[in-house]
Amino acid sequence: MNQLTAFWHLLLHSFRNLLPIVLVVGFFQFAVIQEVPQGLLSMVVGLIIVAVGVAVFLQGLELGIFPIGKNLSNQFAKKGSLVLLMVFGFSLGFSAVVAEPALIAVASQAQTISEGRVNGWTLRLLVAASVGVVVAVGIVRTVLGQSLHWYMIVGYVLVVLVTFFAPEEIVGLAYDSGGVTTNIVTVPLVAALGIGLAMSIRGRNALLHGFGLVALAVMVPMITVQLYGIYVYRIAEVPAQAAVLAAAAAEGEAARHWLLGMVTDLLLMFRDVLPIIAVILFFQYAVIRKPIAHLHKVAGGFVLVIVGLYAFVVGLKLGLFPVGRSMAAQLIQLDTFAWVYLFAFAIGFATTMAEPALMAIGQQAEEAAKGKLLASRIRMLVALGVAIGLTVGVHRIITGDSIHYYIMGGYTLVILLTWFAPKYIIPLAFDLGGVTTSEVTVPLVTALGIGLASSIEGRNVLIDGFGLIAFASIFPILTVMLYAIYVERFKQEGASA
């Protein structure tokens, strides 16, 4: 009965995440566009499947993955072995990101739009490996008590330099890949690991040393994916068109035999979750050498994770992707682009205010800061940053400007503010930039960008369609750091008066 109650709450939580999207889309659809979209029933069914899939997935995490992950973190912290902690951190980061639903969605879209040049599975492996390395390095930083701002300044200088040389086809996708690494699976595990470590080591501050792992997990994939893009577009040969057509024909064949297609997709989902299962089993039995408590619950949790992921992907294809593309196409046909800007701002603000990962991080920050920060104010600042970011990103697509200048300019400003901002806010600000987009928001925003690029003449979908998630990650960092600088300056002026 307790499990049923927990699932009911998760289901309500999933529908609550969808509610801002439904309200904003509904308002624009019926009050502004004033027409019923084609395929409305399919979209509604898809949205319901997404909500149910996310609830099932979360229930599986709660039953199977989170309890073991937290227990392993505590066990390694007690052992005091830095090497073991680093290996565990790498494995945890890698396995969590490989199974990240939002990354699966972005990688799938990238492979389709690039006609196979960008391989979805390779992209996911690169991003997952990047996050694994980052979590291992972040653990060392926490243990040694090093300041995060030097990591971020040097890291983002590298990001900007690589962006200067990267082909324009990969830049938006690279930044989007960084933005979706920290989400429904990764944030709770990674944040708990960092804060738990900082609290267990004498002389470490939870706010200064506990936060920051999420920020690093956003930054490094931006570098590796751009390097991958340089290889794909500047060095590697273009894949034969026949191979692309053969792959499309194979997909069509699977679609005709729906039962075979369903079994194939479920097996693919099992492959996606397999790294997490392997990591947990290895460390539990080979390193900790203790049996898994409540094994039947854990096994049931992994089954729910796989089924939930499958439902989520099916719902994306039926609901969220069509909604985003449909809204983009309809808004572009109106007399003014002002409605497109307003829609981007509204969807960014509304969905971020309802983001559960942001609520969790905000609450943890308020407790760690001991009165310096308020969770409600953090949410408002981050939501405003996402709304502004999406609006700027939409403007870039409409005007056809190069994403290079926007991204390089944005992160140059981030680097400058990192130099001047109070040290206590830097890890939190960068972490908040990584938790702004939920498993529901990312597919919608991705589809919106692709839909706009497809609907505006002269735009290239691969070059102009990706990048919105990147803007949604940059601007919250700016708003939070600017607010902290203002508060510190205000306090100094008050003290001097």
The DSSP line for 462-484 is HHHSS-HHHHHHHHHHHHHHHHH
| Non-local CB neighbours of 123 within 8 Å, separated by 6+ positions | 107, 110, 111, 173, 177, 225, 228
pLDDT tens-place string over residues 125-166:
999 899 889 888 888 887 787 777 778 778 888 888 898 888
Structural domains counted in the chain: 1
For 438, list phi and psi in degrees, rounded to 5.
-85, 175
pTM (two decimals):
0.72
* The pLDDT of residue 228: 92
Task: Output the CA–CA distances (angstroms, integers) from residue 476 to 99, 182, 317, 367, 473, in the order listed.
Answer: 26, 15, 29, 20, 6
Of 189, 182, 214, 210, whose CA–CA distance to 364 is shortest? 210
Q: At what angle do helices 468-496 and 375-399 cross, to 10 degrees?
A: 130
Structure tokens, 207: 């706010």
pLDDT tens-place string over residues 376-392:
788 888 889 999 999 99
Written as tens digits, the pLDDT of the chain (497 aa) is 577 887 887 788 778 777 887 888 888 888 888 877 777 788 888 888 888 887 887 788 778 766 776 677 667 666 667 788 888 888 878 887 877 767 877 788 788 888 788 888 889 899 989 988 988 888 888 778 777 777 877 888 888 889 888 888 888 888 778 777 765 556 666 666 676 677 767 767 666 666 667 777 778 888 999 999 999 888 877 665 434 444 444 444 444 455 666 677 677 777 767 777 787 788 888 877 778 777 788 888 888 878 887 887 788 778 777 888 888 888 888 888 899 999 999 988 887 876 666 766 676 667 666 666 677 788 888 889 999 999 999 999 999 888 888 888 888 898 888 888 887 788 778 777 766 666 666 777 888 888 898 888 888 887 888 888 888 888 998 998 898 888 777 766 655 65
Q: CB–CB of 476/432 below 8 Å?
A: yes
Separation CA 149–CA 145 (nearest Å): 12
* The pLDDT of residue 341: 94
* The pLDDT of residue 253: 45
* The pLDDT of residue 249: 43
* The pLDDT of residue 339: 92
Separation CA 496–CA 200 (nearest Å): 38
Residue 97, domain extent = 2-496
